[in-house]
Amino acid sequence: MFGNYLIGLREGLEASLVVCVLVAYLVKTERRDALRPVWTGIGIACAISLAFGAALEFGSQEMTFKAQEALGGSLSIIAVCLVTWMVFWMRRTARHLKAELHGKLDAALAMGTGALVATAFLAVGREGLETALFVWASVRASGEGSSSPLIGVLLGIATAVVLGWLFYRGALRINLARFFTWTGGMLVVVAAGVLAYGVHDLQEAEFLAGLRNKAFDVSAAVPPDSWYGTLLKGVFNFQPDPTVLQVTVWALYLVPTLALFLAPVGFGRSVRATDQKAQKATDEKAGATGGGARDGDSAERDGERLRDGARRAGSRTGSDEV
């Protein structure tokens, strides 16, 4: 349930912040007439996201077991890719989200009502579709047949809506970059479990081999029906008897992705800038040294020419006297 709450909170807060920025900008610029198209686009995005989630849930029930597993595994991998891209994108642009949305909204205002609807739809629809897909994949991975995953998602979205409203009213101020970094890191851990379970689905669909090749089995120490087994399953999608391929994919995804995500933003650019500055300083020093050497050589050649001229003049004077 915690993993689904985190998904609902994270994705819901992104959508809430987008809506708050759009609405606040229109109100501040006295363009309240444009609020209706914005709310229309938001409503369409929410309706399509709900329909997409319903289609995934009820449509998959009509398939055979292998088809269900193949679909679930494939969509789980797609969901992990989308969420991974999303957490990196939001971490990088959280500080500049307002300016980016203002630019898009200015262009939409100039184009008319249809552009406003499209702007709001695209801004909110992405989060809605990602939420529907990732929640569906996470619920499959957790294996919970109860309503607790759905309750967790709804609680997360409700919390995000309240936080968004507080942001709009100016009653809440937090470091968004830090918030998205921490929640994004936790979401990467959840995504690793979803990815591992997606691989397991593809193995059960006989699309990938190695279903019986277990990495370990701790079912006796961590019973799946125990409270701590349920907690590990719900939070990290922990499986007590994973296959070797599952553990391999989980590690290959989690370790480098988390390391890159937790690295300082702009670290690569800073290193490159430092290298460029060092190279420039070296070139300038070399140029100065080379210039000094060339000046010294020129002075030495000028001195030799003067001495040669003096010797020749003296020779001619001696000849005339003789």
pLDDT tens-digit map of 211-244: 889 998 888 888 877 777 777 776 677 888 899 9
Q: Token digits for 65? A: 């077991």
Q: Does residue 273 share a domain with residue 162?
A: no
Exposure of 184 by Cβ count < 10 A (0-12 exposed, 13-18 middle, 19+ buried)? buried
Q: Token digits for 32? A: 């309240």
Give every residue of the chain whose pLDDT is below 50, as ranges.
267-275, 278, 286, 289-294, 315-322
The structure's pTM equals: 0.65
Q: Does residue 203 share a domain with residue 90?
A: yes
What is the structure's pLDDT at 120? 77
Backbone angles phi, psi at 285, to 5 degrees: -65, -45
Whether 278 maps to a domain, the answer reads yes
What is the structure's pLDDT at 257? 93
Q: Does residue 257 share a domain with residue 286?
A: no
What is the structure's pLDDT at 250? 94
**Which residue, chain included where needed, has tokens 């909170």?**
9
Q: Does residue 294 share a domain with residue 198?
A: no
Backbone angles phi, psi at 243, to 5 degrees: -85, 165
Q: CA nearest 14: which of 86, 85, 106?
A: 86
Report the number of distinct structural domains present in the chain. Answer: 2
Q: Does residue 289 share a domain with residue 206?
A: no
Whether 280 maps to a domain, the answer reads yes
**Start-end of H helices in the chain:** 2-28, 35-60, 65-93, 97-111, 113-142, 148-169, 176-204, 227-236, 244-262, 267-321
Q: Does residue 295 share a domain with residue 234?
A: no
DSSP 94: G
Instruction: Fill in the amino acid letter for 286.
Output: A
Residue 111 to residues 105, 126, 153: CA-CA distances in angstroms?
10, 22, 36
What is the structure's pLDDT at 317? 42
Give the residue from 265, 280, 296 where a domain finishes: 265
Q: Does residue 279 share a domain with residue 131?
A: no
What is the structure's pLDDT at 220? 86
Q: Does residue 45 share a domain with residue 187?
A: yes
Q: Does residue 196 share a domain with residue 83?
A: yes
Residue ranges making up the domain that contains 275: 269-314
